[in-house]
Amino acid sequence: MNHKVQAMLSFSLYVLLGVIFAFSVILVLPVYKRYADMEKNVAELNNELKNAQNECLTLTREVHDLEHSAAAAEKVAREKYNFCREGEQILIYK
């Protein structure tokens, strides 16, 4: 083979590889961006799930206390509904 023909084939091969690489990068970048966005979304949803589980646990404990403890029920009645015992007076400061 002639040296010029070999150099031309080598150059053509490099150009072809460059074009293939460029197209593969163009095709992969949007998919990678979508993947990164979904990964971020999953992390946010996991954080939201953890917060909801903590809130559920807190509310479950509160319900249990209200069902089994007269003191807890009295505390809610006094704080939330401004109830008082007989003979007591409620003072509201604003």
pLDDT for position 1: 63
In which domain, by residue range, is 41 found? 3-81
Residue 12 forms part of a structural domain: yes
pLDDT for position 83: 81
Q: How far apart, in whole angstroms, are the C-alpha atoms of residue 87 and residue 68?
A: 26
pLDDT for position 40: 97
Residue 50 forms part of a structural domain: yes
pLDDT greater than 90 at residue 80: no
- Quick: pLDDT tens for 24-78: 999 999 999 999 999 999 999 999 999 999 999 999 999 999 899 888 888 888 8
pTM above 0.85, yes or no: no
- Rounded to 5 degrees, φ, ψ at 69 are -135, 120
Q: How far apart, in whole angstroms, are the C-alpha atoms of residue 38 and residue 66?
A: 41
pLDDT for position 46: 98
Q: How many domains does the chain have?
A: 1
Residue 89 forms part of a structural domain: no
